[in-house]
Structure 1
């Protein structure tokens, strides 16, 4: 199903890389969740993991935020389908736990937006799933 386009190419990139990942990296739970529709679907395709609805997505982020002292998403390469409100980004996720161990992942996310918020998120992760 296609949704009416609502954001420009630049707005889609800003939303995914700055608004969403900016809030994830800062561990701003409420602002992170504001990026999603109530019934959003979040799937980690490489681990067959699915989180459906904001309650499940919140629990996923609570665990993720608690597991890492530092979360950084960087080096984005985006492809945008402005006409259909979709964006894809390849990026590095740099995670540091409380013991100083660093995990580097080369991930790709596919987002489908509806009315300026994520309706569907599909994540392809290069290593072990950190979003369980």
Structure 2
């Protein structure tokens, strides 16, 4: 299903980088989850994993946030389909665990946003997220 786009190119990039990834890097669970519709789908394509709905996405983030002391997403290269409310970002995920080990992943995310509630109380949110990860899946 295609949704009516509501965000400009700059707003799509801002949503992905400054609303979503900034909150993930800060381990802000509620802020990160606020970027998703209740029925969102989050798939790690390279690991054949799927998280359906906010409860499953929350559990995935709880494990991810607990596994790493520091999470940094950087060096973004975004491609935007403003007409259809879609954005893709290639980036480096830099993860530091409690033992001082650093994991570097070259990832690409594909997002599809859909409008918020009919009453307009909520803005657009992720309906689908597809992740391609260069190494072992850290989003189990």
- TM band (smaller chain): over 0.9
2:128 matches 1:120: yes
Give the structure 1 partner of residue 7 of structure 2. Answer: 7
Measured on the aligned residues, the alpha-carbon RMSD in Å equals: 0.3
Q: 1: CA distance between counterparts of 2:83 and 2:2?
A: 9
Matches within 5 A, 1:60-71: 60-71=60-71
Distance 1:6 1:69 in 2: 36
TM-aligned CA deviation for residue 37 of structure 1: 0.1
Listed as ranges, the gaps of 5+ residues in structure 1 are none
Aligned positions of 1:33-52 closer than 5 A: 33-52=33-52
Post-superposition CA distance 1:35-85 (Å, at most 9, x none): 000000000000000000000000000000000000000000000000110
In structure 2, distance between residues paired with 1:64 and 1:4: 32
TM-score by length of 2: 0.94
Which aligned runs of 4 or more in structure 1 are off by greater than 6 angstroms? none
Match of residue 88 from structure 1: 88
1:130 equivalent in structure 2: 138
Q: TM-score, normalised by structure 1?
A: 0.99
Structure 2: runs of 5+ lacking an equivalent: 116-123
- Deviation per residue, 1:87-115 (Å, 9 max, x gap): 00000000000000000000000000001
Classify the secondary structure of the residue corresponding to 1:129: coil
1:17 aligned counterpart, secondary structure: helix
Whole-angstrom CA distance in 2 between matches of 1:6 and 1:61 = 27
Q: Give the total of aligned pairs.
A: 132
Superposed displacement of residue 18, structure 1: 1.1
